Amino acid sequence: MTSALDLDAFRDPKLARELIARIEHIVGDRHIKLMEVCGTHTMSIGRYGFRSMLPRNLQLLSGPGCPVCVTANHDIDHAIALARLDGLTVATFGDMMRVPGSSSSLAEEKSAGHDIRIVYSPLDAIELAVKRPEREVVFLGIGFETTAPLIAASILAAEERGLANFSVLCMHKTTPAALRAIASDPACAVDGFILPGHVSTITGAAPFRFLVDEFETPGVITGFEPVDILEGIALLVEMVTSGQPAIVNAYRRGVRDDGNPVARSLCERVFEHADTTWRGLGPLPGSGLRIRDTFARFDAARRFAVEVEPVSEPHGCRCGDVLRGVIAPTSCPLFARTCTPEHPVGPCMVSSEGSCAAHYRYRD
């Protein structure tokens, strides 16, 4: 357990200044592109103003680290189609409510009278199903490796309690495939990755070693305090300039090298890998999670046959390019003009972890 005193060390302004000077010295006149993969890192980098403090020739790109943002429009439309069914309640995390689908959003459907509830845990959705046995309750399973164990646990809890009116629309994704797609894309040209701290608590470091083995690209797992992030950047630029890439766990107070085997075992019991489509990255084989046949009765996609409308993407929105790190949010023609947190056009402006929302909030 980390004490308050320990955390103070990771917020030490003197140490932060020393790390910034060290980064400036190492980078020199080189042009280096680093990508943070976690939405919480994106928010922290914006909050602490690191993009304005670090050398201009060191670019910090925001990657596909926001689960809501990378959810494809077809999946959002599928959730909306389920919400329109009579006798069915959709339970979801709050971030999903305002994400625009092809022609509507869950917030609009709720305003139209459909039963959509914001919950803080999939176990809250279980309780909804217990209290209202006459209604079907569908939980929207959104997230990466961090939230998947919670969804797996909820399905096992529903089985144990004999619930016949609970199911999950599984839209989970796994991060390594997305990083492989970015590392393979010449348009991205990322020199190093700030790897996701939260995801790594489950996965450990091993799933990211392919970055070095296949692409000779370094990665650092780091935390979210100012010194955490600056230390991670310093380690990355040292590896980039020395030509000695490695995967480094610099977040040992939160991440074990082998992650959380118990949580992974729980996921393996309930889920299997499946092909899925990411916003911005397209279809990525084996990058999603699907509920195993053993638990098919809890799979909303198989339980409810609904017609999903043809996909329509918002005109002018470049959220997909932002998620790939090809452009900064400020380069989208809609940013801070027609697309704002109050009136979002794309999902990157909706979620609290979205790149566009972070850039908008901390743009000054």
pTM: 0.91
Cα 200 to Cα 206: distance, rounded to the nearest angstrom: 9
Name the CA radius of gyration of the chain, rounded.
21
- End-to-end C-alpha distance for the chain, whole angstroms: 35
pLDDT for 51-87, tens place per residue?
A: 999 999 999 999 999 999 999 999 999 999 999 999 9
Q: How much of the chain exceeds pLDDT 90, in percent? A: 92
Secondary element (H or E) of residue 43: helix 39-48
Six-digit token pair at 207? 């799933």
Domains and CATH numbers, the chain: 7-315 (3.40.50.11740), 319-361 (no CATH)
pLDDT at position 5: 46
pLDDT for 311-324, tens place per residue?
A: 998 899 999 999 99
On whether the CB atoms of residues 246 and 216 are closer than 8 A, the answer is no
Question: 90 - beta bridge partners?
Answer: 116, 138
Helix axes 226-242, 13-27, angle to 10 degrees: 20
pLDDT at position 364: 67
pLDDT at position 12: 86
pLDDT at position 1: 38
Which is it for the CA torsion 211, 278, 89, 294, positive or negative?
Answer: negative
Helix axes 226-242, 39-48, angle to 10 degrees: 100
Cα 53 to Cα 351: distance, rounded to the nearest angstrom: 25
Q: Is the pLDDT of residue 241 over 50?
A: yes
3-state secondary structure of 350: coil
